[in-house]
Amino acid sequence: MKTNAVRILDRLGIQCELREYEVDPDDLSAEKVARQIGMPAEQVFKTLVVRGDRTGVAFAVVPGNAELDLKALARLTGDRKVELVPLKEVQPLTGYIRGGVTALGGKKDYPVFVDEQIVLCDRIAVSAGVRGMQMLLAADDYLRATRATLGPIARESDA
């Protein structure tokens, strides 16, 4: 199945491999997805929707085994404060549901901020825009496709 995100990669000449997995609606964590697709959690990136007090809505992309550092993201974006968008606003803003959010092919072309740890990975996995499917691609290709800004926006997970 080709999602909007996959079509965008195709148009850019970027190769990706699609991996399907069984969705557990009670556990949509990146760690669980990583286990199901056979990749380390630090290479499975989760896409979060945030809102800055100055810059508005953006995507924050961090490794699956990390948490978003809101203060670090605010420094990177030039905001005084950044917060996660409430779940009920995610679909109206992006067109995607929780567990299927991707920075590619959404309703609007929001800015994308990616944790700098991505440069340590040859290949990464990100949502293909639907629950149950991940795109595996070169980290450099993802950065090019999303025109992302890199920065230290993740911290170790408390879990």
Give me the CATH number covering residue 46: 3.90.960.10
Tokens of 86: 């409430």
Radius of gyration of the chain (CA): 14
β-bridge partners, 73: none
Instruction: List the domain range (segments joined by +) for residue 122.
Output: 4-156
Q: How many domains does the chain have?
A: 1
Q: Of 30, 113, 42, which is closest to residue 77 (Cα–Cα)?
A: 113
Q: One digit per residue, pLDDT tens: the chain, 159 residues?
A: 789 999 999 999 999 999 999 999 899 999 999 999 999 999 999 999 999 999 999 999 999 999 999 999 999 999 999 999 999 999 999 999 999 999 999 999 999 999 999 999 999 999 999 999 999 999 999 999 999 999 999 998 775
Predicted model pTM = 0.95
CA 41 to centroid of chain Cα atoms: 13
Q: Where are the alpha helices (DSSP H) in 20-69?
A: 30-37
